[in-house]
Chain A
C-alpha cells in the first residue's frame, strides 16, 4: 500500500490567517481525498482531488475556504483560509492505489488549533 507523508503534524494559528497542509505519496495515485475530523467526531470528506482538474467539494465545503492543489500524481495541498476557532480540527489526506478495494491509506494528520 502507499505511504503518505503529511505535514505539518500540528500547528497553532492566529484567527484570520491561512495554513497550507501538504501530503506527499510514495507512489502515483489517481485520486486523493481530504478529510476533516472535528474534536471527538468522525471523519467528514472535504473534497476529492484529481490530478489536472479542479477538486470536487462536498456539501458544506467551498473552494474559497479550502483551496486544494494537485499538481502531480504524488502530491496535494489543502489550504485552510481565513481561519476561525471553528476550524480547529484534525485534517487528514488519503489515497488509494488505483482500486478502492485495496484500501485507503491515510496521512498521519494535521492537528490544527486556531486561537
Chain B
C-alpha cells in the first residue's frame, strides 16, 4: 500500500525566508503526487501536482515542487514566505489507475513569523 511521510509536523519560518516542506512517498512505480493547502476552517485547495511531465512543477501562490525519483521525494518550496502562507500543507499520492483514492501524509503546519 502507498504511504506518504511528511517530515516535520510543524515548520516555522520568518517572513521573507525560504519555505521547504518535505514529502517522501513509498511506491515502486512513480505515482501521481499532489500538494494541498488547508487554511483554518476551510477545505483543501490544490497547490500543484506532478503527473509525469516536467519534474519541476510550479503551482499557485509562488509554490513549486520537484519530483526526484531516486529519492522518492516531492518537496514543496517557496523562495520567500508571506504571512498569508500560514496554513496546513498536505502531500498526497495516487496510484496511476483511474479511480484510485488519495493517500495523505500527516500534514505540516507552516507558521510564518513577522
Task: Give the nearest-CB partner of A98 in chain B.
Answer: B98
Bound CA span A99–B51, Å = 11
CB distance from B29 to the nearest CB of A (A): 14
Closest A residue to B48 using CB positions: A103
* Cα distance A4–B77 in the bound complex, in angstroms: 28
A53 part of interface (Cβ distance < 8 Å) = no
In the complex formed, the residue of A with least CB distance to B31 is A100
Distance A49 CA – B19 CA, assembled complex (angstroms): 37
On whether the beta carbons of B99 and A42 are closer than 8 Å, the reply is no
A106 touches B49 (CB 8 A): no
Instruction: Give the interface size class of chain B.
Output: 20 to 34
Mostly, the B contact residues are: loop
Whether the Cβ atoms of A100 and B99 lie closer than 8 Å is yes
- Chain B contacts for A92, CB-based, 8 A: 43-44
CB–CB B43/A107 < 8 A:
yes
* Known contacts A42-B105, A92-B44, A108-B42; is-contact A100 B100 (Cβ 8 Å): yes
Q: A30-B99, A44-B104 are in contact. List 6 more A-B contacts (CB 8 A).
A: A41-B107, A43-B90, A98-B98, A104-B34, A106-B43, A107-B43
Binding site for B on A (CB under 8 A): 1, 6, 30-31, 33, 41-45, 48, 92, 94, 98-101, 103-109, 111
Question: Which residues of B are interface residues toward A (Cβ below 8 A)?
Answer: 32, 34, 36, 41-46, 49, 51-52, 90, 92, 94-107
